[in-house]
């Protein structure tokens, strides 16, 4: 793969994940406004991520960023939703650290260190049906899982949209990182 192809593929994957996040972020905000659904920080983060990706693509296409800067920024932006997914579904560090639980913008996951009792009352499934992973009400527990990576993988197995965006983000992260490192 030559450099131009790598830039195109990385940009296309970033655009793919931005569009998916924008759609689900806007749908969650719409459901909150119209239907009174519970609200978390997630739809705001989704929309913000999308806007950052769109802005990065725009500034790169207009030559407003040097290539090395654009690639490094692209890698950083693609890293954030991967870590965010693991934190949201498994680690649960960001919400209490930012006081989001107290502000009513958290979600109902127990991250008490002795297993992960995910009650699925958090309504962060992006399709309005109580985190049942695309209609499959599997009601799983993470009590026998080992940690953040295992719980995250368990969630990705049940979340094909999440899996597709995480794969796209990971490949884009790798390509942007390689491009940034090899930039002359």
Name the residue with higher pLDDT: 104 or 180.
Answer: 180
- And the tokens for 25? 């972020």
What was the pLDDT predicted at 95? 66
pLDDT confidence tier of residue 67, bands split at 50, 70 and 90: very high
E strands, 93-151, in order: none
Range of the domain at 157: 3-182
Query: How confident is the model over 30-59, as a mean pLDDT?
Result: 90
Q: What pLDDT is recorded for position 112?
A: 39
Tell me the percentage of the chain whose pLDDT exceeds 70. 68
The whole model's pTM is what?
A: 0.72
pLDDT digits (tens, 9 = 90+) for 75-123: 999 999 998 888 876 677 766 666 655 544 455 544 334 333 443 344 4
Bigger pLDDT: 18 vs 102: 18
What phi, psi does 109 have (nearest 5°)?
Answer: -120, 140
Instruction: Give the pLDDT confidence score for residue 64 in this predicted structure.
Output: 95
Q: Assign 149 a pLDDT band (cuts: 50, 70, 90).
A: confident
Could you give the number of structural domains in the chain? 1
pLDDT at 88 (0 to 100): 77
Residue 55 clears pLDDT 60, i.e. is over it: yes
> Exposed e or buried b for every residue in 7-39, given b needs 16+ CB within 10 A?
beebbebbbbbbebbbebbeebbebeeeeeebb
Mean pLDDT across the chain: 77
Whole-number Å distance between alpha carbons of 47 and 50? 5
The alpha carbon of residue 19 and the mean position of all alpha carbons in its chain are separated, in whole angstroms, by 12
């Amino acid at each position: 793969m030559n450099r131009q192809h790598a830039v195109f593929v990385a940009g296309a994957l970033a655009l793919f994940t931005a569009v998916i996040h924008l759609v689900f972020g806007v749908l969650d905000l719409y459901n909150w406004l119209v239907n009174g659904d519970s609200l978390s920080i997630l739809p705001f983060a989704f929309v913000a991520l999308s806007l950052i990706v769109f802005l990065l693509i725009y500034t790169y296409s207009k030559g407003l960023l040097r290539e090395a800067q654009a690639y490094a920024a692209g890698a950083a932006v693609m890293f954030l939703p991967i870590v965010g997914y693991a934190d949201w579904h498994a680690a649960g560090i960001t919400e209490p650290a930012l006081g989001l639980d107290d502000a009513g913008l958290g979600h109902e996951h127990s991250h008490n260190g002795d297993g992960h009792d995910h009650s699925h009352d958090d309504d962060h499934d992006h399709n309005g049906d109580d985190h049942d992973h695309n209609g499959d009400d599997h009601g799983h527990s993470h009590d026998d899982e080992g940690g953040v990576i295992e719980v995250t993988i368990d969630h990705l197995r049940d979340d094909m949209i999440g899996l597709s965006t995480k794969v796209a983000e990971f490949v884009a992260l790798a390509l942007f990182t390689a491009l940034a490192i090899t930039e002359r």
